[in-house]
A and B are shown apart, each in its own frame.
Chain A
Amino acid sequence: MISAFKKQDNWTLIGLFITLLLMIALFSWQSEFFFTTRNFINIGQAISIRGLIAIGLTVVMITGGLDLSMAAVAAVAGMVTASLISLDVNSVVVGVAGILAAGVLGSFNALLIVKFRINPIIATLGTLLFYRGLAFVSTGGDNIVVGVNAWSNLGRGSWLGAPITVWLFLAVVVLGMFFMRFTVAGSHLYAVGGNSEACRNVGIRVDRLRGWTYVVQACLAGLAGLMLTSQSGTALPSALNGAELDIIAAVLLGGIALSGGRGGLLGTLLGLLIIGVVQNGLILLQVQIYWQSVVRGAILIIAVTLDSLRRGGGYR
């Protein structure tokens, strides 16, 4: 009896997996173009960049935090890399500088949340506006076109038949899963989300762990910004504008609780895949584009409602 309840996180995963299979079956049946290697690569490509950010966000949310600024961080990182590429700076330096810039923005988030004890939603709402504004101010709102160069390979190249962006995303997912499951720090991140006070009592450095999640999240967002710039050959100050909510939706769909302490990266991966498959399938079926948002919203609502009913708990 109890062991069945204990596996409630597993039930969430099984539910997501079945949903994913049903979606794949439905679209394969409805569209001859869906079940093809080419299309699966498309789906992978579509979710990889946002997926990187979602992975970071998952870790932040497991500790009970939230980061709304991540898409803006990606945009700033994109602008930084593009301006350096235009200056003919060495590619490796460009990459390091882009991610470093993102890391600095993440450290600022961490400072506000951990040192000044500002609620993460408010702190990162503020930095979302601030960072997004910086991205626009840097060029007066213009895009930076970098075209095709040594950097383009990151976003456009492929290896063993799949785009490098997809490999990079998968590598981060696997690394993240390994870290959360097998390291003491990963275990502490879950514990901090479950009861931060209990962790402080036993001497776990709660603030340091929390702070690092925001820095890592920002670095992953920076990497996403880099890949986006590389893929499109252009850095837009408006890159990923509004994607914040979609990314949070994917993470919540994957079974992460806003209160922290629960869920995992496998859930986020499944959440991303479901949203990616639906998006792709609806395009193939030539459904009016505005339905996308309706369907995604409905999936999220249904998923969290089922989860809440099954747990018998929920919002009080």
Chain B
Amino acid sequence: MAMSNVSKAFGQVHALVDVSLNLYAGEVLGLLGDNGAGKSTLIKILSGNHRPDQGSFEYQGKPVTISHPAEAQALGIATVYQDLALVETRPVSHNIYLGREPRRFGLFLDRRKMERDATVMLDDLNIRLPSQKVDVELLSGGQRQAVALSRAIAMGGNILLLDEPTAALGVEQTQQVHQLITGMRKQGKAVVVITHDLSDILDITDRIAVLRQGKLWAYAPSKTITTNHIIGWITGVMPPSIHNGADQ
């Protein structure tokens, strides 16, 4: 998946200017930047919630448009938002398959199949929950994130956009989410992680993109840089650095 020269303005505010990025299967891209740098706008464009003013997309070498959430979904782009959008009063399996429950005779819920599928899915992702019959409100923050990710994958997501997946989590739960991200990379998904959390970011990502004032400020393989580089780019202390070597 590639996006080229994407721009978006809200009135006088240039939220994104000429941003080009590539996403590869089996790779994790870290998307960083200060508040208002354009990260959320970028995610909303990729998920079809905003239309770009300019720019184009390619999927597996073919030009595509993403002007509507349904189009993004059809391309296998799934977004996990910060507030997770889970139904807390419903069990895990209902949340994973929300809106695409297995049916019998078109009308009836195939609960057994749904629970079986959910078990397989959670096992594949190495997610351990007390029970998938438990209501989501009784799960920890990390477990909820796991449920939200499972749903994104159940929706057929091959390109997963994670908006601040560890924002509200403690140290141990953050670790769990990082393991999940690593697990999805192994499954061959393309993952974009938006985050403020710089700890471990270089370990869990393959490449880093830093946005600053709507522009792509830096783009580099994670292995070649340090946390100090990232901080320098985010704050603008370091000059822009687009490593095209990042796109091997």
A interface vs B, CB < 8 Å? 2-3, 5-6, 182-188, 190-191, 193-195, 197-199, 201-204, 261-262
Contact = CB atoms under 8 A, between A and B. Distances in A.
A184 B109 contact: yes
12 contacts: A3-B130, A3-B131, A184-B103, A187-B109, A188-B99, A194-B90, A195-B89, A201-B81, A202-B85, A202-B98, A202-B151, A261-B88
Interface of B: 70, 81, 85-90, 94, 98-101, 103, 107-109, 111, 130-131, 133-135, 138, 151, 155
Contacts of B135: 6
Contacts of A202: 85, 98-100, 151, 155
Nearest to B106: A184
A191 B94 CA distance: 9
B85 A198 contact: yes
Given A2-B130, A5-B138, A6-B138, A201 B85 contact: yes
Instruction: Name which of A190, A199, A203 has the most chain B CB atoms within 10 A of its CB.
Output: A203
Contacts of A5: 138
Nearest to A195: B87
B87 A182 contact: no
A261 B99 contact: no
B85 to A, nearest CB: 4
Contacts of B107: 183-185
Nearest to B151: A202
Given A194-B87, A194-B90, A202-B99, A183 B138 contact: no
A184 B131 contact: no
Contacts of B98: 191, 198-199, 202, 204
A197 B99 CA distance: 12
A2 B99 contact: no
Given A182-B109, A183-B108, A195 B88 contact: yes
A262 B88 CA distance: 10
Q: Majority SS of interface residues in chain B? A: loop
B85 A6 contact: no
Contacts of B99: 188, 199, 202-204
Instruction: Name which of B87, B107, B135 has the most chain A CB atoms within 10 A of its CB.
Output: B87
Given A185-B107, A202-B98, 16 more contacts: A2-B134, A6-B133, A6-B135, A6-B138, A182-B109, A191-B98, A194-B88, A194-B89, A194-B90, A195-B85, A195-B88, A197-B85, A198-B87, A198-B98, A201-B81, A204-B99
A198 B86 contact: yes
Contacts of B111: 182
A197 B84 CA distance: 11
A201 B72 CA distance: 13
Contacts of B85: 195, 197-198, 201-202
A212 to B, nearest CB: 14
A195 B86 contact: yes
A261 B87 CA distance: 9
A3 B135 CA distance: 10
A185 to B, nearest CB: 8
Nearest to B134: A6
A190 B89 contact: yes
Nearest to B88: A194
A195 B98 CA distance: 11
Contacts of B103: 184
A22 to B, nearest CB: 29
A2 B138 CA distance: 7
Contacts of A195: 85-89
A183 B109 contact: yes
Contacts of A197: 85
A191 B103 CA distance: 16
A256 B98 CA distance: 22
Instruction: Name which of A182, A185, A193 has the most chain B CB atoms within 10 A of its CB.
Output: A182
Contact of B108 (A182, A203, A261): A182
Nearest to A260: B89
B87 A191 contact: yes
B131 A193 contact: no
